[in-house]
Structures are given as structure tokens and as C-alpha cells.
Amino acid sequence: MDARRGCWKIPFRLIPLTLSRGAPFKMDPFSDTLQRLREAFRSGRTRPAEFRATQLKGLGRFLQDHKKLLQEALAQDLHKPATESEMSEISLTQGEVNLALRNLRTWMKDEKVTKNLATQLDSAFIRKEPFGLVLIISPWNYPVNLTLVPLVGALAAGNCVVLKPSEISKNTEQVLAEVLPQYLDQNCFAVVQGGPEETGQLLKHKFDYVFFTGSPRVGKIVMAAATEHLTPITLELGGKNPCYVDDNCDPQTVANRVVWFRYYNTGQTCVAPDYVLCSPEMQERLLPAMQSAITRFYGDDPRSSPNLGRIINEKHFQRLQGLLGCGRVAIGGQSDERDRYIAPTVLVDVQQTEPVMQEEIFGPILPILNVRSLDEAIDFINRREKPLALYAFSTSNQVVKQVLDRTSSGNFGGNDGFMFMTLNSLPFGGVGNSGMGKYHGKFSFDTFSHHRACLLAHSGLEKLKGIRYPPYSVCRLRMLLMAMETRCTIL
């Protein structure tokens, strides 16, 4: 069947029915869709490599055929520059598709393992099997990348997928809901729309795996729902990402990199540096360098720059505007509610107890806090929740190595920002409060695969195996323990 013909219409509205006693009843809008996908998975339809490759190719064609449509949707939702859409949304996703297609059969192969003497004549291996019906819930800040990159892993692993894009980035959601299903087998794939109420109802159903990207607060809700069904889960969350700047570094180089990564996507990036730790002396050198970088990147009037986006909606704008009152504005601080514009802003004289240091900022505001030493900076970081990303800048490799060795974070960047996101050879994920699990590249395939331990024994050779059976003896035990020691595989 040509998966691009037609599109399944999924009922999202709750249709009120009336029972015989007159009690109102709400129909479950998802049961039919989920049943259809489960039946498709049970039929074995998604398991062959050929089918998986066809789905991945369909996803790749969707990205190629509708690149302009996606860029327009991202511009409407976030005022996202075309360059940023190309770099961080479309190109990275296409790269994941291409990698999966090149390596699919290799990833799917049974993985042989070492054996002991007792199993030398047997076959021992790990088989990567699809979980079954997978739910992917994605956020609004990178609504293409953070929706479709997990989808690549789920499809490559042979799962059926329910995709729940964010309703906040409504234009991108519409493209994903109306156009993407035309490129995939709709017996095995569905997009559902709606807000928190619909997502909550969806989570009442049993899935075989749940992949969630969003805030720790909502992540706890999703995890609690998954726990009801003992469903395994990946949580890609966020947090306050520290950025330590040592006295021994070039302030303009650091400013260029920090400014670009902080204000990329208007600061609405889960791995963006959330605050800077440096000495008062470095702060004095860093501020004019940051002002220079902001002017070079966005002009004298950043509001008119085509390279700076906007805050996603009124709610988040109001939240961020409230944070502008923390500390003292050293750079920027201008805002326009009608345009949802907040200028690239740097705050100084910030207290640890102020709201800007109590929550992930997720916007174009960067506080600078002063520390007297590297040890104080590391202690400051370690007294807080483990972040999704941590950055250290210094011309001394020893300083960068100390920050790496003495802290914990989901990801680490030395003398640069989140360029690790461009490497699908590295796993991406959080630790502790910033999440659990990992994906990107082969790590995505492994995340959406059950690693099944398999041992295929010879049907004969019973005399050799008789050593295991009662009646036990000291001699037999000694021989059995020797045979159970792990040794190199010779067969």
C-alpha cells in the first residue's frame, strides 16, 4: 500500500454520550487508533528491515518535500530564522534518518557474546526487539527536531508509534498532524493533537514505551502515569545549566560563544547556558565583550534583526518579563509585549535566592554570579540539582578537566557551547533531575529496542550436561564452577 495516499482521520474531540440513567459519558477518542496500531504490531508488519527502511525513507522525503513549509511554520511559531531552522531542526533530523538507513541492518543483527566452558557448544547472543506500541511526547521549543529525532529511533527499532507534538507550537503541530502521516504507514503510525487534558487521557492507556521531552514538573506526571502500567520510559528534561568562566581565557572568544549559544532560538533551548559563574574581575572584562558580540550578531537594534526569534507565547513572555526585575540589568532589558520581544539581556548583582536562580530561565536572559575560586564554583554547582548540560571555559586544560571530573551533568562542553548536539556518535540525555535515558544515533535505536538475552542449547549432548544434576557432590561442584567461569569463545 502506498503510505502517501490518504490520511487517517483521528477523532480528538470528546463526544458526550448519554447512558440509560442519564449520566454523561465521554467516549475515549484514542482507543480505536491504539487498537489499530497494536494489531499491526502483533501481525509482525513492522519487524522486517525492509519495512523499517521504507518508513525511514518516507520520513526523509517528508523533510525534503516540505522543508519550506516547516520553516514557515517555525517562523510563525517562534519567529525562528531560516538558518536556525535548517541547522538545528531539519538538517540534524535528516542526518539521523540517513545514519539509521546506512546502519539499520548492522544495528538489527544479533550481538554475539562471550561464553563459558559450560556453554561453548551453545549459541549465546543479544537480540534487539521492538518494544511494540511507543508514545512520543514532544515540546514546543524545537518542535521538528525533538519530535522527529526520537521518531527515527522508534521506527528504526521496528515499533508502532503514536506521536504527540506540542499544541503550543501550533503551526508546526498542524504540519506534523496533517502532512507527515501521508508519508508513513498509517496502520503503524498516528499523530494525536490536543492539550494537557488530551495528553492526560492518552497516558491512561498502556504503552510499551514512553518517550517524553519537557520540564521536570510535567516529567513527573508522565512518569507517574507510566508507572501505573510498569511502562519503561525515557525522560529528556532540563534544568539550570552552569557555565564557568575561568580568569585565564580570552573574554571576547568566550563572549562570542556564550552569546551565540545563550540567545540561539531566543534562549528557548534546554541545553543553553542558564547562568555564568566567574570572578568579579572576569565579569568586568566579559561584559563589554558580550555587548560587542550581541551588537555584531544582532545589530544596534536586536528587535529588528532577522536573526533573533521571539518568545513562544504570552504566558512565557510574562514569566520572563518578571525575571527582568532580578539583580541589575547590565545589557539589554528592553521588551515589547505586543511583539513578544525580549532583548538579549545580561543580569549582574543577582542573589542566589532570586526567582531567576530558582527556575530554568528558558529565554534570552543570562545572570552572572561571582565566585572567588574554581573550588567555590564547583561547590556551587554540586549543591544544586544535576544539570542537563555544564560548560567550562579556560585556556588551562587542567581547569576544564577539574570541572569535568568533579561535577556531574547529562552533557559537558569544554570551551564551547552545545555543539555536542551535532554529534550523533554521542548519547544525549540527562541525569537525576534533568532526566533519564539517552538517544541520538545508535543510542536512539537501542533506547527503543528491548535487548533480549538468548541462549540456544544443543538438543543432545546430555552426558556432558549431566554434571549439573543431583545428586550433588564436591567434585561435581568444583567441575561445574570451573565450567561456569567466563572464557573466550572458541566456537
Q: Which residues are catalytic?
A: 236, 270
Residues 6+ apart with CB under 8 A from 427: 438, 439, 440, 441, 443
d(CA 416, CA 51): 40
| Grid coordinates given for 102 | 546506512
d(CA 75, CA 169): 10
The DSSP element (H or E) to which 278 belongs, if any, is: strand 275-278
Residues 6+ apart with CB under 8 A from 87: none
d(CA 457, CA 116): 13
| Grid coordinates given for 399 | 581547569
Q: Rounded to whole angstroms, what are the CA distances from 251 to 280, 293, 332, 344, 374?
A: 13, 11, 19, 18, 17
| Grid coordinates given for 249 | 581565557
Q: Which amino acid is at 136?
A: I
d(CA 288, CA 284): 8
Check if the beta carbon of residue 137 is closer than 8 Å to that of residue 213: yes
CB atoms within 10 A of CB 21: 5
Q: Which long-range contacts (CB under 8 A, 24 or more apart) does 62-65 make?
A: 62/179, 62/180, 62/182, 62/183, 63/90, 63/93, 63/94, 63/97, 63/148, 64/94
| Grid coordinates given for 441 | 544515533
What burial class does residue 43 get, using C-beta atoms within 10 Å of its C-beta: 0-12 exposed, 13-18 middle, 19+ buried?
A: exposed
d(CA 329, CA 367): 9
Check if the beta carbon of residue 186 is closer than 8 Å to that of residue 40: no
Q: Which long-range contacts (CB under 8 A, 24 or more apart) does 449-454 make?
A: 449/128, 449/129, 449/130, 449/131, 449/157, 449/158, 450/128, 450/129, 450/130, 450/131, 451/126, 451/127, 451/128, 452/126, 452/127, 452/128, 452/129, 453/126, 454/110, 454/123, 454/124, 454/125, 454/126, 454/127
Q: Rounded to whole angstroms, what are the CA distances from 313 to 81, 91, 165, 223, 486?
A: 17, 26, 16, 26, 59
CA dihedral for 413, 419, 424, 427, sign (positive or negative): positive
